[in-house]
Amino acid sequence: MLVGAWTAWWWIDSAVTCDQQDEYSYHGFCLMELQRRAESGDNPAQWAYGNYLAGIPPFDQAYDWHLKAMHGARIGLELRRSMDAYCDKVPGFDARTVESVMQRVVRTSPDAHLRLFQLYLSPPPCSAFSLDQASAQIPLLTQCAHLTLAEYFRAVERERYTLSAATRAAIRGNLDRCENELAHPPPEAPTVREFMPLQPNDIEALRRSLDKTAP
């Protein structure tokens, strides 16, 4: 009797605390609902369910769900950074495939250019790394990319890469966008953005990095 009561309480508690659970702590009703949504094709649920399964060896199921989520992506927000992390490490996430999916999505979701920018800065073993390709994404960005630009400048210095006049102009344009976003924060919208908020010193640091690349 006590076991049955405890089970019932645990089940009810899991249902009413869904908003306090995440993909690493789902249980009971919430876990079943997450699985149902993933199986019905809900893209965020597929990523989240894969994250949940990533804690359960041998991890193959997690990769399978993330693979489904990647190929089912339709908007920029459905392109997760784990795609970069898996690049050329996990079967199905070879650089060419990841790049192809992002290029498909960006045709109708321009905010996804930030994801391509990040992919082209991925360190080995990801073979997508290309400062030429990364540079080509900068004028296409639809948001301030302060964190990724900082990563870009580190790669530029490491590779002793020479910035073209057009790329330098595109960077200045993005920094102007950053200043505008700092003064007038854009409304909350379901678009790809950097994961940490912009700070005034971020812009100053990026302008100094740009000055250091002057020919």
Distance CA 64, CA 16 (A): 29
Stated pTM of the model = 0.87
pLDDT at position 108, please? 97
pLDDT at position 24, please? 58
pLDDT at position 5, please? 35
Phi-psi region of 73 (alpha: psi -120 to 50; beta: other; left: phi over 0): beta
Q: What angle do CA 164, 170, 173 make, to 5 degrees?
A: 145
pLDDT at position 1, please? 41
Say which residues have a Cβ less than 8 Å from residue 50's Cβ, sequence separation at least 6.
Answer: 38, 61, 62, 63, 64, 65, 66, 69
pLDDT at position 21, please? 59
- Tokens 């990647």 -> residue: 70
pLDDT at position 58, please? 83
pLDDT at position 20, please? 58
Which residue pairs, CB below 8 angstroms and at least 24 apart, start in 2-10?
Answer: none
pLDDT at position 131, please? 98
pLDDT at position 18, please? 64
Distance CA 200, CA 122 (A): 26
pLDDT at position 56, please? 84
- Segments in the chain below pLDDT 70: 1-29
